[in-house]
């Protein structure tokens, strides 16, 4: 099991909200709980959206998914992930660290780390 990221919101997400919000953003449901883009699983529904990114591309997709449902992407240790000025950042203990340019990461595709 890898490092889990979760989508959090001020008000809890209902599965029906997730199902309604993801399709216009290019995501699809597989089975009763997997959220995917094409052939790639991005996250699962476990009362909230949870993902274990295997690449920067997966991280970018989780950020898109969080935005689609009006949430924020948070890590197990309380760090948050965001896109600012086209750049993916991880913010931990008040310090922002750049991951890379969102558009370039998406264009590079889902190659694993």
Q: Is residue 38 one of the residues assigned to a domain?
A: yes
pLDDT above 90 covers a percentage of the chain that reads 75
Q: Is residue 68 one of the residues assigned to a domain?
A: yes
Mean of per-residue pLDDT scores for the chain: 92
pLDDT of residue 2: 65
pLDDT of residue 1: 43
Give Dmax (Cα) for the chain.
38
Structural domain for 21, as ranges: 5-108
Q: Is residue 28 one of the residues assigned to a domain?
A: yes
Number of domains in the chain: 1
Q: Is residue 113 one of the residues assigned to a domain?
A: no
Q: Is residue 77 one of the residues assigned to a domain?
A: yes
Contact 17, 71 (CB under 8 A): no
For residue 3, give Cα distances in angstroms to 7, 51, 76, 104, 107.
Answer: 14, 8, 7, 23, 23
**Residue range 10-61, pLDDT digits in tens:** 888 888 888 888 999 999 999 889 999 999 999 999 889 999 999 999 999 9
Q: Is residue 91 one of the residues assigned to a domain?
A: yes
pLDDT of residue 72: 95
């Amino acid at each position: 099991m890898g490092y889990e990221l979760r989508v959090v919101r001020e008000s809890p997400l209902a599965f029906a909200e997730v199902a309604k919000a993801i399709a216009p953003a290019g995501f699809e449901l597989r089975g009763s709980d997997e959220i995917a883009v094409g052939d790639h699983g991005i996250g699962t529904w476990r009362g909230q959206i949870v993902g274990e990114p295997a690449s920067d591309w997966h991280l970018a997709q989780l950020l898109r998914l969080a935005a689609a449902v009006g949430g924020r992407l948070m890590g197990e240790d309380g760090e948050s992930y965001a896109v600012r000025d086209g750049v993916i950042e991880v913010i931990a203990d008040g310090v922002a660290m750049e991951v890379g340019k969102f558009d370039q990461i998406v264009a590079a595709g889902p190659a694993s780390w």
